[in-house]
Amino acid sequence: MTKAQAGINGIVTPKFYIKCLVELEDFLQEAAQKEKAAKKKMNANNAKAMNAMKQKLKKNNKSFEDKIEMYRKDPDSLEEPAIVTVAATKKKSKNAFLAGSDSEDDDAAGPSTPQIDDSEFTTVGKGGKAVAEITSENLLQKLREILEARGKKSTDRNEQINTLQRLLKDATSSYQKIKVLLALISSRFDANLSMTGYMQVELWRSVEKEINQLLKIFETDPSFYVFENADDIDDEDKDIVAKPGQPIGLRGSLISFVERLDDEFTKSLQNIDPHTTDYIDRMRDEAGLYAILVRSQVYFEKHNLAASIGRVVMRRLEHVYFKPEQVISQIEIATQSVLGDHVKSSIITATDPAELVHQLCTYLYQQDVSVLRTRAMLCHIYHHALHQRFHVARDMLLMSHLQETIHQADIPTQILYNRVMVQLGLCAFRDGLIKESHSCLQEVQGSGRPKELLAQGVQMQRYGQPVAADQEQLERQRQLPFHMHINLELLECVYHTCSMLLEIPAQAQAGPNNKKVISKTFRRLLDYNERQAFLGPPENIRDHIMGAAKALASGEWEKSRDLIMAIKIWELMPNTQHIKDMLARKIQEEGLRTYLFTYASYYSTIGLAQLSQMFDLSTVNVSSIVAKMIWQEELSASLDQVTQCVVLHQVEQSRVQQLALQFADKAVNLVEQNERLLEQKNAEQRPEQQQQQKDRRGNKGQPGSQQNRNAVSGQRPFQQRTGRTQSARR
């Protein structure tokens, strides 16, 4: 302690410290006077803080009395040239803190801090500016100076970039160029540090140009290459020329540059309003970016940098997987023309888009990194689904067993998984596989927040509570750029149409008190729609589908079809007419089924010809549908071949019979529940049998009491039977 004291004493007190003390004293006095002059009293906290500060300052100033005195006499007399950035900031923060505690001091203290800062920064800046003459001899030396300054708080980044650009112009040998370019690209990326903002487009383009320049050097001059684990060469600021046939490895990471460039591109797309021309302009840069990806991939292949190849191939895949084949082949052609013939990859040779995606994916499947494999698999499935290869995509998904492990994956991969599921659902829908489509979409659309799950928009509220700011920030960063979005409206429309086609016949079959719900959201919407007192003509997609569902339920399939056909969004799907035809047919069939379920009890026979006329289906079709229903015991009826009609077997149950059946079901349920209860009890008791004896005795009565309750409410004819089972149970 004393030692430290002595150490501190040894240092001459810096001039500005004294200056600060003096200024503080002055401010305080001023503030105190103001306070006296003011009519209104300062609030208690502020007053307390000011007093405390006054005392502290007095105590502190005692030890510096003479110096303060000296300063007051002559502000320049205390000469202190030492570099004191650290001390300054310390003091600054203290000052700011004090200012914060005392609101009156705030504006007074404000101007004083920047003053200090300014004076400090300019001096260092001067050192950086002092680049006078660059020759190829001292170029590397200069470069080193700049690199050493990098990352320091006092460095002006823009200034550095300018210098580096000048250096680049003067660089002659490839070694120099590579060195300068590596430094320049990293410092350009340094220029933007904040998490939220994106790199300016101009800056981005120049980086793109420089990476291309760098790659070009590698392509033309085989004597150098860059990789991550290279030994740092001590060049002593001299130029290095490689011996022929012995390439020199330099330390650097091209893959991180490329990835960063890609990330910045995505970030900019996230931030630009997608409905402006800016967005489209920005999208044009993708071709260049894609070319860089391919070019660097070739470079990595040439130097056999396996880890980097995997990463860059993944990036490449992520740029193509969601695009239609025509677009992919366009972008491939464009890339080829930009790069020229000498840049040829050895792993990815295909030109056909489907083949290209296949090759990219199969390459990634061989990687050791499981994340890459998973993502590649998902991209591959997405691509298949997009191109209407439902069975292939489904088989891949099932065989990959991703569904079991996806919950442990990182969030971007989960988002990708959701996208895949949705795309698969849409694909199934286009193929007319309603059930499959519904089950694929259920998870995402049924949750009620597809926007969030697909990363196509930020949810402002969750469970009625606003999302925390940092959470929202994170979510924003995960958003997909607009051009990758899946149309949410279309998704909703498809989902509800599927739900309608499944739910309406199921409801008709099960009767009014149906507890089995296929699609919760659909049911909710339908219930809501039915509660409305007045219904206007349908306006949005939902209204159309609800109207169609109600029409279908009452057997008016034509109205239902017309309503569904009136939805404009079908136009967004390829092959619209085909899909509409498919839907019309499904509505006819489901309409027939619904009709039979609903009205079967009012007929004793129905002519097949009549049905076929009503639903505009061929007789063969009708009989096939009816036969299926009979076979699956959904409809208690049979066909009469001679007269060509459906004979319905009336099973009119009396009230007592119905109740008896219900009661029997309940009794079965009860027994099952009791068994489960016992099993559960046994399972939990086995390990700690001895301790829980008493508790168990207490619980024993429970099943019995349950039985009694049921027996009381039960019906007479079967009481005897159930009564016996109860006694047996006891």
Partner 1 sequence: MAAKHDLTMRMIPFLDRHLVFPLLDFLTLKEVYPTEDLLKAKHELLSNTNMVDFVLKLYQEIHNTEDVPREFAEKKEKVLAQLEEFQTQTQNIIEVIENPEVIAALRQDKLQNLHFLKENYNFTDSMVLTLYDYGQLQFNCGNYGGAADMLYHFRVLSTDNERNFSALWGKLAAEILTGNWDVALEEMQKLREAIDQKSFSTPLQQLQQRTWLIHWSLFVFFNHPKGRDGIVDMLFSSQYINTIQTSCPWILRYLTTAVVTNKRRKTYIKELVKIIQQESYEYQDPITEFIEALYVHFDFEGAQQKLKECEEVLSNDFFLVAAREDFMENARQFISETYCRIHQKIDVKELSQTLNLTQEEGEKWIVNLIRDTRVDAKIDFEENTVIMNTPITSVYQQVIERTKGLSFKSQVFASAIEKRELAAASAATTAEAL
Question: Minimum distance from CB of 613 to partner 1 (Å)?
Answer: 20
For residue 38, give the nearest of 47, 26, 51 by alpha carbon. 47
How far apart, in whole angstroms, are the C-alpha atoms of residue 274 and residue 259?
A: 23
Q: Is 689 in the site for partner 1 (CB under 8 A)?
A: yes
Classify residue 110 by its DSSP letter.
Answer: T
How far apart, in whole angstroms, are the C-alpha atoms of residue 667 and residue 714?
A: 9
How far apart, in whole angstroms, are the C-alpha atoms of residue 245 and residue 37?
A: 86
Of 220, 465, 641, 720, which lies in the binding site for partner 1, with binding defined by CB under 8 A? 641
Q: Please report which helix (H) or strand (E) contains residue 678, including its range.
A: helix 655-685
Of 34, 209, 216, 724, which lies in the binding site for partner 1, with binding defined by CB under 8 A? 724
Of 459, 668, 708, 709, which lies in the binding site for partner 1, with binding defined by CB under 8 A? 668
Question: Minimum distance from CB of 678 to partner 1 (Å)?
Answer: 6
How far apart, in whole angstroms, are the C-alpha atoms of residue 684 and residue 305?
A: 56
Q: Is 643 in the site for partner 1 (CB under 8 A)?
A: yes
Q: Provide the angle, in degrees to the nearest 10, between the axes of the packed helices 174-190 and 157-170.
A: 160
Contacts of 411 (CB under 8 A, 6+ apart): 478
Coil/strand/helix, residue 133: coil
How far apart, in whole angstroms, are the C-alpha atoms of residue 613 and residue 27?
A: 97
Of 476, 664, 710, 711, which lies in the binding site for partner 1, with binding defined by CB under 8 A? 664
Question: Which of the ranges 39-47, 232-240, 590-598, 690-698 carries the binding residues for partner 1, by CB under 8 A?
Answer: 690-698
Q: Is 676 in the site for partner 1 (CB under 8 A)?
A: no
Note whether 561 and 501 are within 8 A (CB): no
How far apart, in whole angstroms, are the C-alpha atoms of residue 568 and residue 579?
A: 13
How far apart, in whole angstroms, are the C-alpha atoms of residue 162 and residue 4?
A: 45
Question: Which of the ranges 437-445, 539-547, 581-589, 718-726 carries the binding residues for partner 1, by CB under 8 A?
Answer: 718-726
Question: Minimum distance from CB of 639 to partner 1 (Å)?
Answer: 5
Of 250, 292, 551, 667, which lies in the binding site for partner 1, with binding defined by CB under 8 A? 667
Q: Is 651 in the site for partner 1 (CB under 8 A)?
A: yes
Note whether 664 and 657 are within 8 A (CB): no
Q: Which is nearer to partner 1, 243 or 694 (CB)?
A: 694
Task: Kindly state the number of chain residues that form the binding site for partner 1, as judged by CB under 8 A.
Answer: 47
Q: Is 729 in the site for partner 1 (CB under 8 A)?
A: yes
Q: Which is nearer to partner 1, 347 or 660 (CB)?
A: 660
Of 41, 62, 153, 730, which lies in the binding site for partner 1, with binding defined by CB under 8 A? 730
- Residues 579-638 binding partner 1 (CB under 8 A) are 620, 623-624, 627-628, 630-631, 636, 638
Q: Is 653 in the site for partner 1 (CB under 8 A)?
A: yes
Question: Minimum distance from CB of 642 to partner 1 (Å)?
Answer: 5
Question: Which of the ranges 56-64, 80-88, 289-297, 719-727 carries the binding residues for partner 1, by CB under 8 A?
Answer: 719-727
Report the residue count for the chain: 730
Question: Minimum distance from CB of 727 to partner 1 (Å)?
Answer: 9
- Residues 375-434 binding partner 1 (CB under 8 A) are 391, 395, 399
Beta strands per DSSP E along 556-625 = 605-607
Residue type, 164: L
Classify residue 410 by its DSSP letter.
Answer: -
Question: Minimum distance from CB of 668 to partner 1 (Å)?
Answer: 6
Of 639, 706, 710, 719, which lies in the binding site for partner 1, with binding defined by CB under 8 A? 639
Q: Is 172 in the site for partner 1 (CB under 8 A)?
A: no
Of 674, 706, 710, 719, which lies in the binding site for partner 1, with binding defined by CB under 8 A? 674
Question: Minimum distance from CB of 381 to partner 1 (Å)?
Answer: 16
Question: Minimum distance from CB of 695 to partner 1 (Å)?
Answer: 11
Question: Which of the ranges 95-103, 314-322, 344-352, 715-723 carries the binding residues for partner 1, by CB under 8 A?
Answer: 715-723
Note whether 451 and 488 are within 8 A (CB): yes
Question: Minimum distance from CB of 612 to partner 1 (Å)?
Answer: 15
Q: Is 640 in the site for partner 1 (CB under 8 A)?
A: yes
Question: Minimum distance from CB of 659 to partner 1 (Å)?
Answer: 10
Question: Minimum distance from CB of 730 to partner 1 (Å)?
Answer: 7
Q: Which is nearer to partner 1, 14 or 607 (CB)?
A: 607
Strands 645-648 and 637-640: antiparallel
Rounded-to-10 torsion of CA 26, 32, 38, 42:
130
Instruction: Locate 576 and state its tokens.
Output: 């619209």
Question: Minimum distance from CB of 229 to partner 1 (Å)?
Answer: 31
The CB-side HSE value for 57 (13 A sphere, CA atoms) comes to: 22
How far apart, in whole angstroms, are the C-alpha atoms of residue 730 and residue 724?
A: 10
Question: Minimum distance from CB of 219 to partner 1 (Å)?
Answer: 39
Q: Is 683 in the site for partner 1 (CB under 8 A)?
A: no
Instruction: Locate 528 and state its tokens.
Output: 């809501």
Q: Which is nearer to partner 1, 243 or 730 (CB)?
A: 730
Neighbours of 458 (CB within 10 A): 16
Note whether 384 and 399 are within 8 A (CB): no
Q: Which is nearer to partner 1, 9 or 601 (CB)?
A: 601
How far apart, in whole angstroms, are the C-alpha atoms of residue 226 and residue 258?
A: 13
Q: Which is nearer to partner 1, 94 or 649 (CB)?
A: 649
Name residue, tokens 């009826």: 637
Q: Which is nearer to partner 1, 336 or 674 (CB)?
A: 674
Coil/strand/helix, residue 409: coil
Long-range contacts of 436-442 (CB under 8 A, 24+ apart): 436/390, 436/394, 437/494, 437/498, 438/495, 438/498, 438/499, 438/502, 438/518, 438/519, 441/491, 441/494, 441/495, 441/498, 442/495, 442/519
Of 119, 403, 657, 708, which lies in the binding site for partner 1, with binding defined by CB under 8 A? 657
Question: Minimum distance from CB of 630 to partner 1 (Å)?
Answer: 5
Q: Which is nearer to partner 1, 304 or 654 (CB)?
A: 654
For residue 72, give the nearest of 18, 14, 33 by alpha carbon. 18
Question: Minimum distance from CB of 404 to partner 1 (Å)?
Answer: 14
Q: Please report which helix (H) or strand (E) contains residue 131, including its range.
A: none
Burial of 653: CB neighbours in 10 Å, binned 0-12, 13-18, 19+: exposed
Of 678, 684, 698, 702, which lies in the binding site for partner 1, with binding defined by CB under 8 A? 678
Q: Is 661 in the site for partner 1 (CB under 8 A)?
A: yes
Q: Return residues touching partner 1 (CB under 8 A).
A: 391, 395, 399, 620, 623-624, 627-628, 630-631, 636, 638-643, 647, 649, 651, 653, 657, 660-661, 664-665, 667-668, 671, 674-675, 678, 682, 689-690, 693, 696-697, 718, 721-722, 724-726, 728-730
